Structure 1
Amino acid sequence: MNHTTQRPNIIFIVADDLGYADLGCYGGRDAAFGPVSPVLDRLAANGLKLTQGYSNSPVCSPTRFAMMTARYQYRLRGAAEEPIRTSTRGNSTLGLPTSHPTLPSLLHSAGYRTALMGKWHLGYPPHFSPIRSGYEEFCGPMSGGVDYFTHCGANGQHDLWLGEEEKRQEGYLTDLITDWSVDFIERMAEGAQAPQQTPFFLSVHYTAPHWPWETRDDEDLSHELRENQQALYHLHGGNVETYRRMIHQMDEGIGRIVATLEQQKLLDNTLIVFTSDNGGERFSDNWPLVGGKMDLTEGGIRVPWIAHWPRVIAAGTTSEQTCMTMDWSATMLELGGAQADADFPLDGESLAPLLADTTTLRNRPLFWRMNHRGQRAMRDGDWKYLRVDGIDYLFNLRSDERERANLAPVQPQRLAAMVGAWEQWNDSMPVIPADATVSLCYTEKDMPQR
């Protein structure tokens, strides 16, 4: 398959804290209002669905470092924060270095137009920003989670940007991200006589269904709770129904993006990739997996991966290919004809061959580590090594996706081999700095002072 003669447009859609089984196509149940994710379900039915795909981290910003660089996030100091907190605004260390090549910067150098609509969470101006890391356009929040209506972070500070300037705009954030994305696609279509010769890379980073749990119908509720920031932002808010409506309203936005591609006759040669930055949180459905955000159990790192590209991907294909976030970044670089910088070799491996032929699976070990609870994990074929709180576990995921039967005592040699492999890999990564922090939720100094 020759990817250089007619390179695809690429749209990389990332949900925030979406659970493995929150979508109908991954076994999710219908809500009281009906199917939760009909658009994404159709994209999966007409494209490729991966059942063994992972995020690079079980928490927001570390995964995004890997997504931007196609490398293990542990190579960068900012990714040791789990995640980068609102209180680091103005910090000159904790962010994506502007000197580091990125997925958008490499694609831009290869001739792509680039834009990010939605969440950044990789450091704050004036030291860091999407514009300084390869995106020509940016609209969205710089931090991890903001109110969907006021667009203020958990510390009460406004956090909506156009480029590197703060932007005041009314509207439900999920819908605004969709609006900006649709506008970009329409402008790219209008400005190109031959769209295939001027391809675009569009990152659509929704904050849904990350807290605060608000649907587009909850603006009055938002005002009511604003005096109690903890209730609104994390500790007491939300319910399953609201959470599922947030997913549905994101799904509606994705439907608008797909419809725009169809109207502009761009859908056939546009690669749409959808995933989540990590496993689900308190209201998510991760069945049959256990754990969630912040955990290296399967529920914290295994996420949906859907790829739709009518020109190349056959409809109705499913694959058990293991992969991580950084592999999809490497895939997009290959398809876009972009070359990695020799000084920053990729850790991700391109999945481009899989898109045309899902019959051949490639295996390589995948590795994770978390400062939180001293977690470490490794996936190699059907086997997974996990350490939590100093206890080692060994699971055969083929027969035990729920990670209930610890085979470490009965397979000590296999365990020892995987521990050794993990430690050898870990020795190749920078050590976790002693001052790296873990934020399970916002701490008191991140909350508004009253």
Structure 2
Amino acid sequence: MTQVQPNIVFIMADDLGYADLSCYGRLEYETPALDRLAAQGLRLTNAYANSAVCTATRVALMTGRYQYRLPIGLEEPLQSNRTGLPPEHPTLPSLLRDNGYHTALVGKWHLGELPEYCPLKSGFDEFWGIRGGGVDYFTHELDGVPDLWDGTENIERTGYLTDLLGDRAVAVLEQRAEAGGPFFLNLNFTAPHWPWEGPEDEAESARLQAKVEAGEPMPILHYDGGDMATYAAMMRNLDANCGKVLEALDRLGLAENTVVVFTSDNGGERFSFNWPFTGKKTELLEGGLRIPALVRWPGVTQAGTTSDAMTITMDWLPTFVAAAGGAPDPDHPSDGVDIATALSGGALPERTLFWRFAYRAQKAARRGDHKFLEISGKRFLFDVTEDPLERGNLKDREPELFEGLQAAWHDWNADMLPPDPEAGRHYFTAAKLAEYFGVDS
């Protein structure tokens, strides 16, 4: 019997900037495997992350909803074990599993800690990766605490983390090819998230480990480390491991019935290339929100095409669940939309997308070409199609448009949970604000 439901491989990089792939414009290095994926499928140019930081976007991916509907979604990012993704909430993997899919998470979770919160409690049949936001690529530890797991068991492995995750993903594909039936593989790399360590940088790992042993807090942030060459090495390795996964799909005869998506959780960080946008991770400027998104969907996407359809992370749940023959949970309706029409070359109905971010009291909304933005009480209206750098403030030239988008944001926000003053408290300390963002606290 021919399998009708498509397999799904969803690959999410961590802190990858809009133009960090050579098919999006990076010049310092090449990403041949992902460039081939783009040539075989579709490249989205107006894809957005649900947030400018990781945990919140991952909540949206899992639930198909604005993250601000859940307490865990207010964490920017999650820095403690006080909350997590509620196990009782329907998720992308649980809805797919209800429709006969085997579900696997390889890589980063960052949606809560054991025992209350776990991928295995939120719809995944198997989990192999890290629970937190980031670890050293060689020790697989954060501040001396091991964070590599097989299900609920803490494990030890030797090797560079990106390689380990790529190899594990290939093993999952091999198992699914033998077992048969549709599957959902969510492969969440930590690359190119700090620490700035390429596959040959064991010495840097040892230097940071010595700081851990000396009691220095969070040395893997290492503001005294990293450079463009290191970032290039991390990106080449990420690309190579994506290539291993794509090669395995071909070798196992799975490619013709497998949707492959490659994207990022938010905009780029210190060494990213976000052109033609300004801003970066933690900012609601385009550079903090606009992300690369490649889609190869046999029978849906056309090879070598691009789309300027406006999409957002939470769209993947209704899109994939519909392809599986299911529907979002009626008690938890999705805020996203099924974007299959856009992926096949069509257009989406006009809609307005909304964001907020606690740091600097940021607000944003985009409808059509225009974007309302507020940062630290300063308000703007930009045409992000003609002015992607967000330089020309049209607030006074287009007052009705500005007021309309601002009012729409406030109406939308009234339906969300209020900001949590404790969320991000550990992340946005005075010292980090001054050093990381280049501003005074």
- Please state which band the TM-score falls in when normalised by the shorter chain: over 0.9
Q: Which residue of 2 aligns with 1:427?
A: 414
Matched residue type, 1:236? D
Q: 2:94 aligns to what SS in structure 1?
A: helix
Structure 2 counterpart of 1:399, which letter? E
Contact 2:276 2:389 in 1 (8 A): yes
Q: Residues of 2 paired with 1:251 and 1:67: CA distance?
A: 22
Query: Using the alignment, how far apart are the partners of 2:343 and 2:268 within structure 1?
Result: 26
Q: What does the per-residue CA deviation read over 1:348-368, in whole Å, with 9 as the maximum and x for residues that have no partner?
A: 101112222x14343210000
The residue that corresponds to 2:438 in the other structure is none
In the TM superposition, residue 442 of structure 1 has moved relative to its aligned partner by 8.0
Q: Normalization by structure 2: what TM-score?
A: 0.94
Which amino acid is 1:393 matched to?
A: F
The one-character-per-residue Cα deviations of 1:386-411 (angstroms, maximum 9, x if unpaired) are 00000110001121000001111221
Say yes or no: does 1:270 pair with 2:253. no
Q: Which moved more, 1:430-439 or 1:380-389?
A: 430-439
Gaps of 5+ in 1: 193-197, 446-450
* Alignment-derived partner of residue 55 in structure 1: 49
CA contact (8 A) 2:78 2:423 kept: no
In structure 2, stretches of 5+ residues that fail to align are 213-217, 433-441
Distance 1:296 1:439 in 2: 20
Cα deviation per residue 1:183-230 (whole Å; 9 max; x = unaligned)? 0000111122xxxxx100000000000000111111132113322255
Q: TM-score, length-normalised on structure 1?
A: 0.92
Distance across 2 between alignment mates of 1:26 and 1:438:
35
SS in 2 for 1:422: helix
1:40 aligns with 2:40: no
Q: Distance in 1 between matches of 2:293 and 2:343?
A: 12
Q: Which residue of 1 aligns with 2:144?
A: 156
Q: For the residues of structure 2 that align with 1:289 and 1:231, how far apart are their CA atoms?
A: 30
Aligned to 2:204: 221
Runs (4+) off by over 3 Å:
229-232, 438-445
Task: State percent identity of aligned pairs.
Answer: 48
Return the alpha-carbon distance in structure 2 between the equivalents of residues 245 and 160 of structure 1: 23
Supply the distance in 1 between the matched residues of 2:67 and 2:14 (Cα, whole angstroms): 18
Question: Which amino acid in 2 is paired with 1:311?
Answer: G
Higher mean C-alpha deviation, range 225-234 or range 239-248: 225-234
Please, which of 340, 354, 368 is the counterpart of residue 381 of structure 1?
Answer: 368
Is the Cα contact below 8 Å between 2:14 and 2:264 reproduced in 1? yes
Q: Distance in 2 between matches of 1:218 and 1:81?
A: 31
Alignment correspondent of 1:318: 306
2:405 pairs with one of 418, 424, 430: 418
| Pairing of 1:59-74 with structure 2 (within 5 A) | 59-74=53-68
Instruction: Give the Cα separation in 2 of the matches to 1:189 and 1:171.
Output: 26
Name the residue aligned to 1:10: 8
Structure 2 counterparts to residues 292-311 of structure 1, below 5 A? 292-311=280-299
Structure 1 residues 123 and 202: CA distance shift in structure 2, 3 A: same
- Which sits farther off after the overlay, 435-444 or 97-106? 435-444
Q: Which residue of 1 aligns with 2:96?
A: 107
Question: What do you get for the CA RMSD once the two structures are aligned?
Answer: 1.7
Distance in 2 between the 1:422 and 1:402 partners?
22
- Report the count of equivalent residues: 426
- 1:442, 1:98 → 2: CA distance? 30
1:234 aligns with 2:222: yes
Match for residue 259 of structure 1 among 247, 252, 262: 247
Residue in 1 aligned with 2:437?
Answer: none
CA contact (8 A) 2:3 2:182 kept: no
Q: Which residue of 2 is the match for residue 347 of structure 1?
A: 335
Deviation at 1:438, TM superposition (A): 4.6
Deviation at 1:232, TM superposition (A): 3.4
Q: Could you tell me how far apart the structure 2 residues matched to 1:385 and 1:344 are?
A: 28
SS in 1 for 2:114: coil
Task: Give the match's secondary structure for 1:13.
Answer: strand
Task: Give, in whole Å, the separation in 1 of the partners of 2:430 and 2:247.
Answer: 41
Per the alignment, residue 448 of structure 1 pairs with: none
Moved more, 364-373 or 428-437: 428-437
Contact 1:53–1:324 (8 Å) recurs in 2: yes
CA distance in 2, matches of 1:441, 1:158: 24
Task: Quote the Cα distance in structure 2 between the aligned partners of 1:232 and 1:353.
Answer: 43
Q: Secondary structure at the match of 1:51?
A: strand
Q: Does 1:279 align with 2:267?
A: yes
- Structure 1 residues 117-162: Cα deviation after superposition (integer angstroms, max 9, x where no partner): 0000000000101011010110111000100011101x32111111
Report deviation, 1:231.
4.8
Match of 1:175 among 152, 158, 163: 163
